[in-house]
């Protein structure tokens, strides 16, 4: 996703979901209907995949134990641990202190047992994830590399995919924490296209990297990817041969959020994660169903695709119009970053009072926010089931309420 707030330690590791750079109430305008379903839902259980951010243990004060106490652990099938870096075309550690050195006392630990300082003892997020998996053995964890800020190294990785895959395997399967991770996730923003920097590796580079990773990690490991959700003609989905890699991936996460936001400071106001198009949408093809249909049309099985949900809102200030499409003077204030607010905060500060494009929006005190609610998420899960998708994923766990309000809605996917 685009410009997601992080901690004072890591200040810009983020995803650009849609591939852009820059429910209560009646709909503001007639909404387009999702494309007709083209595949029945698979018999296998649906995946519910949640991101856990390495830096969340700082300003957000969100720890692995919160996954348990919120009730989220019982609903998750998978956790994506974000992020590792790609420096020099290699997989490298992000924040070593948060990952495996930060000590937890008994009160902060998943199992109520304090970390030790014994030689070789594992601490930090990795040890807490190990403890969480012991209590919830159904949960599988993948370590994600890249993201908005740390994707620059993929260009070099594509020059020698085998060497890149070897470096990733050595890090993920380090004996100190090999039991914590069940595989690897690649969040390349964006192959053969522009994100924070531009890549010109060609349309087959992504497949080459994924092929090398699958060969190195083997058939029993999870190999997954978060990709653009740019549904425009000639956009980022069209720039890369994602279909060639699909057979080597366990699932694919088109980041169907961050289509619109206060990175366009004057607006027009629009919800950042519309499911469908609607009259007045600022950019044709910037909605979830467009991305899903484009990926399916390229031959990617629906069962490999997960629908993305943002556990946060994006908003503007200086707005006088309640309906979408209004002008603004800039980004609305947010606790961690201007223009963004976690659902657990914005849902009470500026409750939703309208829906458009299958998602919700709110207008209050000159601010305009777009975000998903439990009701719109449930509707999106109905859509995902109808499309035969393999499940849903969300960015990210700390944005939910202490009781897991949003993940409860996601879990209705089955």
Residue entry with tokens 């993920």 = 172
Q: How far is CA 187 from CA 45, 56, 142, 251, 305, in A?
A: 24, 18, 12, 12, 15
Exposure string over 139-163, b if 16+ CB within 10 A, otherwise e: bbbbbbbbbbbbbbbbbbbbebbee
Question: Chain-centre distance of CA 45, in angstroms?
Answer: 20
- How do beta strands 312-317 and 330-331 pair? antiparallel
- The two structure tokens encoding residue 325: 């499409």
Rounded Cα–Cα distance for residues 330 and 143 (Å)? 35
Phi, psi of 151 (to 5 degrees): -90, -10
Decide: 313 and 348 in contact? Cβ < 8 Å. no
**Start-to-end CA span in the chain (Å):** 25
- The two structure tokens encoding residue 367: 């601010």
Q: Which candidate in 36, 135, 173, 189 is catalytic?
A: 189
- Whether the ω angle into residue 221 lies within 30 degrees of 0, i.e. cis, is no
Rounded Cα–Cα distance for residues 393 and 396 (Å)? 9
Neighbours of 30 (CB within 10 A): 10
173 is catalytic: no
Helix and strand numbers, DSSP H then E, in the chain: 12, 14
11: CB partners within 8 A, 6+ apart: none
Size (the chain), residues = 414
Give me the active site residues, please. 189
């Amino acid at each position: 996703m685009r410009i997601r707030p992080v901690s004072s330690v890591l200040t810009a590791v983020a995803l650009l979901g849609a591939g852009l750079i820059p429910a209560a109430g009646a709909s503001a305008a007639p909404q387009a209907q999702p494309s007709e379903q083209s595949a029945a839902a698979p018999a296998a259980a649906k995946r519910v995949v949640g991101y856990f951010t390495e830096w969340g243990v700082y300003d957000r004060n969100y720890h692995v134990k919160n996954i348990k106490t919120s009730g989220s652990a019982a609903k998750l099938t998978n956790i994506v641990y974000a992020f590792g870096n790609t420096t020099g075309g290699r997989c490298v550690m992000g924040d070593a202190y948060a990952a495996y050195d930060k000590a937890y006392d008994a009160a902060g630990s998943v199992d109520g047992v304090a970390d030790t300082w014994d030689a070789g003892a594992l601490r930090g997020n990795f040890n807490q994830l190990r403890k969480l998996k012991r209590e919830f053995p159904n949960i599988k964890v993948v370590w994600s590399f890249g993201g908005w800020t740390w994707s620059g190294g993929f260009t070099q990785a594509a020059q020698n995919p085998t060497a890149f895959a070897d470096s990733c395997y050595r890090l993920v399967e380090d004996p100190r924490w090999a039991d914590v991770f069940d595989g690897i996730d690649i969040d390349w923003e964006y192959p053969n296209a522009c994100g924070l920097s531009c890549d010109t590796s060609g349309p087959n580079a992504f497949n080459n990297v994924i092929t090398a990773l699958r060969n190195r990690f083997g058939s029993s490991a999870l190999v997954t990817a978060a990709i653009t959700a740019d549904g425009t003609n000639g956009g980022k989905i069209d720039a890369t041969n994602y279909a060639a890699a699909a057979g080597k991936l366990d699932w694919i996460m088109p980041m169907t959020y961050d289509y619109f936001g206060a990175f366009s400071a004057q607006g027009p106001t629009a919800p950042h994660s519309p499911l469908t198009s609607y009259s007045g949408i600022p950019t044709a093809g910037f909605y979830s169903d467009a991305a899903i249909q484009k990926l399916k049309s390229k031959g990617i099985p629906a069962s490999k695709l997960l629908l993305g949900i943002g556990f946060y809102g994006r908003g503007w200030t200086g707005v006088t119009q309640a309906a979408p499409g209004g002008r603004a003077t800039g980004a609305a204030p947010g606790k961690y970053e201007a223009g963004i607010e976690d659902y657990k905060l914005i849902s009470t500060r500026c409750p939703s009072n309208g829906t458009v494009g299958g998602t919700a929006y709110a207008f209050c005190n000159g601010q305009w926010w777009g975000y998903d609610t439990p009701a719109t998420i449930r509707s999106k899960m109905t859509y995902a089931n109808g499309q035969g998708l393999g499940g849903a994923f969300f960015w990210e766990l700390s944005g939910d309420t202490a009781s897991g309000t949003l993940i409860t809605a996601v879990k209705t996917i089955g």
